Amino acid sequence: MVRAFPVMMLIALAGGVAQSRAEPLVKADEVLVIKHERKLYLLRKAETLKWFWVALGRHPVGQKTEIGDGRTPEGLYWIVGREARSDFYRALRLSYPNGADRERARRLGVNPGGGIMIHAGPRGYEPTGPGEPMIDWTNGCIAVTNADMDEIWARVADGTPVEIRP
């Protein structure tokens, strides 16, 4: 009986160690970007898992209407693919332009463009300090830091809806 106590303690300790191992990252079932806040939210069942500062197009206010306007689109899109080695580290491709974007462009007689992504950015465009937003610099994409892109990449699957609000 004297020997059973240390064995029981070891079993209890081993169980505690197993429970303290890192939990897998919870996957998001939706991405929400709120342009005026300059934030990207990872959501699961409408609850925020985490948010990240973002940079937007160099002319961030308003809906993207045509290629080269420097605006980030607004509406509902989907993650349609990923680029592990993009020009900006990693990138998640969005389904822009959607039907409403194409119809708007047709009415205006312009090309809606394409190639809108959530991607990382070059050095020098990161937040300037803790709690500081990023500088808007993209051609219409949504940019985050490389470290944030790693987490978003791991938590967001292809096919995930992405809502971009003003």
Residue 142 domain-assigned (yes or no): yes
Number of domains in the chain: 1
Residue 34: domain span: 28-165
Residue 3 domain-assigned (yes or no): no
pLDDT digits (tens, 9 = 90+) for 64-77: 999 999 999 999 99
Residue 19 domain-assigned (yes or no): no
Residue 17 domain-assigned (yes or no): no
Residue 120 domain-assigned (yes or no): yes
Residue 14 domain-assigned (yes or no): no
CA 14 to chain centre: 37
Quote the pTM value: 0.82
pLDDT digits (tens, 9 = 90+) for 3-38: 444 444 444 444 444 444 566 789 999 999 999 999
The CATH number given to whatever domain includes residue 62 is 2.40.440.10
HEC profile for 98-153? CHHHHHHHHHHCCCCCCCCEEEECCCCCCCCCCCCCCCCCECCCEEECHHHHHHHH
